[in-house]
């Protein structure tokens, strides 16, 4: 089970996720502190450890739109969050795969903050409401990279195999 810790709407840009004023900080070990920095309450929850690894952010269409900054994905990966959205911006989705950030496309999911979700390969079950939502699977190659923990880990596995 995973808990929804934040519900967002459509067109959440990389600047919402990782504000541009922090672009001088690029190390994946340092970027998480700036996740949703302009949402002070949620940022404080993340930084204090109040959000468990594997928790879910639910969003609408076009999550991660805007710039191609990789830090938007690395800041979320730093907290081991799962992003479930109705749709993702193309570059954000690829950056997420490259970094091993778990992303799930579910066009018909309805969930609220605090809901408990069961994430299955082909569906998401909202255990709080009893509703079931379909999942659009990622291409197998992209999913393999995410499952390996990112592109570097995936390449390392392939070279050792």
pLDDT at position 26 is: 79
* Cα 5 → chain centroid: 12
Residue 48's pLDDT band (boundaries 50, 70, 90)? very high
- 14-39 as b/e: b if 16+ CB within 10 A: bebbbbeebeeeeeeeebbebbbbee
pLDDT one-digit tens code per residue, 121-139: 999 999 999 999 999 999 9
Q: Print the domain residue range for 113.
A: 2-160
Residue 10, domain CATH: 3.20.19.10
Instruction: Give strand ranges (E) for 87-127.
Output: 102-105, 116-119, 123-126
Helix 90-99 to helix 151-160 angle, to the nearest 10 degrees? 50
pLDDT at position 159 is: 94
Q: How many CB atoms lie within 10 A of CB 9?
A: 12
Q: What is the mean pLDDT of residues 77-83?
A: 97
Structural domain count of the chain: 1
Q: What is the mean pLDDT of residues 91-103?
A: 96
Q: Indicate the pTM of the whole model.
A: 0.95
């Amino acid at each position: 089970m995973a808990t929804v810790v934040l519900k967002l709407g459509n067109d959440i840009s990389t600047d919402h996720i990782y504000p541009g004023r922090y672009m001088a900080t690029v190390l994946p070990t340092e970027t998480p502190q700036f996740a949703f920095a302009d949402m002070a309450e949620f940022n404080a929850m993340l930084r204090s450890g109040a959000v468990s690894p594997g928790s879910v952010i639910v969003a609408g269409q076009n999550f991660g739109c805007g710039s191609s900054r990789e830090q938007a994905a690395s800041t979320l990966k730093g907290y081991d969050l799962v992003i479930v959205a109705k749709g993702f911006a193309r570059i954000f989705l690829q950056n997420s795969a490259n970094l091993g950030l778990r992303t799930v496309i579910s066009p018909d999911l309805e969930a609220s903050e605090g809901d408990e979700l069961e994430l299955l390969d082909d569906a998401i079950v909202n255990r709080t409401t009893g509703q079931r939502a379909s999942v659009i699977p990622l291409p197998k190659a992209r999913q393999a990279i995410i499952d390996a923990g990112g592109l570097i880990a995936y390449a390392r596995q392939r070279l050792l195999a």
